[in-house]
Structure 1
Amino acid sequence: MNDLDKLSDLSDSILIHILSFLNTKDSVQTSILSKRWNHVWKYIPILTLHSSDFSTLKSFDKFVSRILSLRDNSIVLHAVDFVHNCSIESRLLGRFARYVLSHNVNLFRLRINVKCDIAHVLPCISSCHTLTSLNLSVSPKGCHNYGRTIFPKSLNLPALTSLHLGNFSFSANDDGRIDPFSPFNRLNDLIIDNCTVKDFEILCISSETLVSLTVCSHSFNNYGIKLSAPSLCSFTFTGTPYQMFCGSSLSSIKQVNIDAEMLANYSEPPAVLLSWLQELANVKSLTVSASTLQVLSFIPNLLKLKISSLHSLKSLKVKLKPLSYGLSMALKIVNLEKTLKAGFEPSSPIPDGMLNFLLQNSPSADVDIIDCLRSDDSFDHLPPSSSSLFAQFLQPSSQENAMEDLHQRIEYLKQVAQQTKRYLDLAEINDKEEILAVKEHVMMLSKTLGAIERQRVEAMRQL
C-alpha cells in the first residue's frame, strides 16, 4: 500500500512546499486524503483566498473565519492573496487584517482586492518592512461611489520592488507635487490600473530604480505623467490613451507594448497616441494591437507625416484580436460618409500603409503578425481589463463634482446614440449579423444611460 502512496511518505516540509502552489481552499481539502494529511495545510506560510472560488459570499466569509482560527498560530506568513468581489463585513476584514499584521514579520508578497475603507487594511501593510511585492486595490464600499480611495502617504516599505495599484486617486504632498512613488527606493515594477489624479493635472513618477511601467486607463480623468526614471526601459499601456507624457526618461525606454481603444466622437486620443510614438525615440521593440493601429488611423493625413522617432526599431509585432464593439462602431461612424460612397466592407485589421508608417525610419526591422484569434498569445504583463464600450461609463467618478461628471457621461452617451441612429438611417445594412450587433449596441446604450440616470438620482439623494 505504501508503494502506491509515495506522496504521503514525503517529509512535511516537501508536502508544505507542494501545497503552497494551491489556493487555500484546495489545500484544506487535502485533509480528507488520510490522517497523514489532516494538519499539513495548517503549516503553509501562504494564504490564497478568493471569493470567486466559492458558490456564495457567505460560504467564503465562513471559510475565511474558520481558516484563521484553525491555522497553526506559530507559522509566519510569506505571501497573502486576498480577493473579495463585493463589499466585505468590517468585522471579518478587521480580523483578517489583524491576523496578517501579527504574522507578517517575513511577509514578502501581499495582494488585497476588496471594497472597504483603506483604514481597515492600512495597518497590516504600513508596518511590513519585509514586503517586496504589493498588489493593492481598495474600492469605496457601497453600490454607488463617486470618488476613488486616496492613496495613503504613510506607507514605509523599504524593501518594496513591485507595486500594482488599482482604483486609487493620487493627491498632492505638502510641497504641492503629486509624487506618490518617490518613497519607494527599490521600486522596479509599477502598474497603475484605473487610477486618477485628484485636483492637479500632473502625476510625477520619480524613481532611480524603476525599470518597468504599466498604465491601464479607462477613466475620464485627463492628467499628464511626468517621468523622472532614468532606468526605465519598458512601458506598457492598455485602454483609452488620454495621458500626455513628458520627461527625459522617455528616451531610456527600449520596449513598448500598446493596446489602445477609442470611443466615437473622440479626436484627442489619437493625437496623444501619436505624441507617444514621437517621444519614445529609442525604442527597439514595439508591440501593438490591431486596435491601436485603427486608433492611429483616425488621425487626418497620418500617412503623409514624417516622424522623427523609431530610428532604433529592431522588432515590430502586431497582435490581431477582435476589435471591441465600441471601436468597431467608432470606425463605422467616423468613416460613415466614405463608407456610404464606397459601399460597406469590413475594414482590414491592419489599416493600409500603417506598417510602412511605423517602419519609415527602420525599414529593416523584423515584423511579426501574431493572430491572437487562434492562439492564447496576449499582451505580456497587461493587467486584465474590460474591452466593453460601456464599462468606463459605470466606473466611480474621479471628479469632486459628481453630478457634473454624471451629466457629462449622460450627454456623451446621448450623442453616441444619435450617431448610431444616423448610421442605421443612412447605411443600407444587409448583413443579419451586423443588424443584430447594431441593435445590441443600441440596447446597451439604453441600459447604460438608465444605469447612470439611477446613479444621478442616488447622488442627488445623498446631497
Structure 2
Amino acid sequence: MPDKNEMRGMSNFLEESVIREKINRRRPNEDDRYKENGENVDRLSDLPDDVLLHVLSFLNTQHVVQTCVLSTRWKYLWKLIPTLILHSSSFSTKKHFARFLSKILTLRDSLAKLHTLDFVHHGDIESRLLKKILSGVSSHNTHLQKIGINVRVDTCIILSCVSSCRALTSLKLSLYPKSCYNFSETLFPNSLNFPELTSLDLTNFVFCGGGNGCVAPFLAFNKLNSLIIHRCTVRDAQILHISSETLVNLTMHDNSFNIGKIELSTPNLHIFTFRGIPGQLMYGSGLSSVKLVSIDALMYSNDRIPPLVLFTWLLEFANLKSLTVSSTTLQVLSLIPDLLEVEHLSLCNLKSMEIKLQSSYLLGLSDVLKEAMVKKVAAKSRKEATKLRKAFDKGLQPPFIPDGIVDFLLQNSPSAKVNITTIY
C-alpha cells in the first residue's frame, strides 16, 4: 500500500495535471454498464489488468493518469502502463509539462516494464529533467522496444542512452541543437547496433563517409523494414549507399544531400516516397521492385536548369503500379526542354495516378514557370508573349497541371485511372 507521502504527492499530481489543465473527469455511465440481476455491472473494470493496460497504451499519458479517478479499481493502474506518450504541446505551459513529467517519473511503479517511450518537447528542456527521463530509459534498456524522441538539446547524451537499448524494434530521433543560432547537425554514429530494429526515422542527421567516397550508414540493421530520412545530409562522400535485403518502405524528405548519386541495394523495396529538390541520380537493384511511388518535387527560383534527374527516376521505375505526384512535380517536369517530344519506355504497368494540387509559390517556382511559358510563346509570336506577360503582371498564375504532361506520363499506360485532389 502507498504511504502518506506518496498519497500526498498523488493528490498534488491530480490537482496540477487534471484540475489545472481543466480536463473533464469521466466516470462510467449507464452506457458503460450492463444490467445483471437488476444491478449495474461495470464490464470494463472487470477486464484483466493486461487487457486494460494494452488499451491505455494507445492514449496520451496525461489522459491515462485521469483514469485513476474512475474508481478504486483504476486508482493505481496507470502506474503500470508500459507506454509513456509525453508531448509538451498537450500542456498550456512548459512549467505544467515539467511538473507532470517529474511526477510521472517519480510515482510510476519502478518494477513495471517500459516498452515504449514517445517524448516530444518543443523549446529548451531543463538538464535535470532530461537526465531523469534518460535515467528511466536506461533502467529499462533491456525491455524498451520503441523509442521516439523529438527535442532540442545536447544530442550526445541522447545517443549514448539510446545506444544501450539493444531490444529496439522502432527508433525515431528528431534532434536539434539547443541554440537556434547553432546550425550544427548531429553525426549519425556508425557504431549503433540494433539487431531487432525494423523501423528507423531520422531527422537532422549527418552521414559521414569513409575513404572510398561512399557512405553506407544502415548496413548494421539486418531487419530494417521502414526507413525515413528527413532533413539529413552527407559529408565526405559522393555516394549514399542504402543496402538492405528487408527494406520495403523508403521515405526521403527535404534532405540537402550534396552528393551526385544514391545507390539502392534493396531488392524488396516496394514503396518510395520523396519530397524536396531532386538532385541525385538513383540507381541499383532497388528501383525495379518498387510498385508505389509518391513524389513532391520542387526547384529554387534561381535554378534556371530544371532537375533532369526527376525524369530519369521515372525511367528507372520499370514495374511501377501506382504513382502519386504533386502538381509542382508536373510543373518541374514541364520545364525540361522538349520533354513532350520524348518517347519514353517506362511506366508500362501503371494502374493508377493521383495528382495532388498545391501552390507553386514555394521557393519561387511560379516565377520560373511564368518565364518559361513566356519564352515558349515568344518563339512563335512576340505579340502573344507580351500579352501573356501582362496577364501574369495582373495576377494570372500558371496552370497547376501543364498542358500535355499527364498524357506524356501515361503514353504507355493509357488505361490507368487518374484522380485529382486538392491539398492547398
Q: Which has the higher strand share?
A: 2
* CA offset digits 1:289-335 (Å, max 9, x no partner): 11211111111221112223222222222223444544334433554
Which TM-score applies when normalising by structure 1? 0.75
**Partner of residue 25, structure 1:** 62
2:418 and 2:315 map into 1 onto residues whose CA distance is: 22
| Structural mapping, 1:10-409, within 5 Å | 10-173=47-210, 177-217=214-254, 219=256, 221-326=258-363, 327-335=365-373, 340-342=386-388, 343-344=391-392, 345-364=396-415, 366-373=416-423
Q: Residues 177, 222 of structure 1: CA spacing in aligned structure 2 closer, same or farther, 3 A cutoff?
A: closer
Contact 1:262 1:330 in 2 (8 A): no
2:99 and 2:58 map into 1 onto residues whose CA distance is: 23
Q: Which has the higher helix share?
A: 1
Q: Which amino acid is 2:117 matched to?
A: V
- Relative contact order higher in (CA < 8 Å, ≥ 6 apart): 1
* CA offset digits 1:28-57 (Å, max 9, x no partner): 122233333221111110010111111222
Q: Which has the larger radius of gyration?
A: 2
Give the superposition deviation at 1:5. 4.5
- 2:350 counterpart SS class: coil
Unaligned runs of 5+ in 1: 374-386, 388-463
* CA offset digits 1:346-400 (Å, max 9, x no partner): 3332111011110122223x22223235xxxxxxxxxxxxx9xxxxxxxxxxxxx
Unaligned runs of 5+ in 2: 1-29, 31-38, 378-384
2:94 and 2:189 map into 1 onto residues whose CA distance is: 28
Q: Which amino acid is 1:255 matched to?
A: L
Give the superposition deviation at 1:117. 2.4
Q: Which amino acid is 2:366 matched to?
A: S
Contact 2:45 2:73 in 1 (8 A): yes
- 2:105 counterpart SS class: helix
Which TM-score applies when normalising by structure 2? 0.81
1:173 and 1:91 map into 2 onto residues whose CA distance is: 37
* CA offset digits 1:47-86 (Å, max 9, x no partner): 1011111122222222212111110111111111111112
Contact 1:75 1:103 in 2 (8 A): no
Q: Which amino acid is 2:403 matched to?
A: D
Q: Which amino acid is 2:408 matched to?
A: F
Give the superposition deviation at 1:4. 6.9
Q: Which amino acid is 2:149 matched to?
A: I
**Partner of residue 453, structure 1:** none
Q: Residues 292, 176 of structure 1: CA spacing in aligned structure 2 closer, same or farther, 3 A cutoff?
A: closer
- 1:138 counterpart SS class: strand
- 1:85 counterpart SS class: strand
Q: Residues 87, 147 of structure 1: CA spacing in aligned structure 2 closer, same or farther, 3 A cutoff?
A: same
Contact 1:182 1:207 in 2 (8 A): yes
Bigger drift between 341-350 and 257-266 goes to 341-350
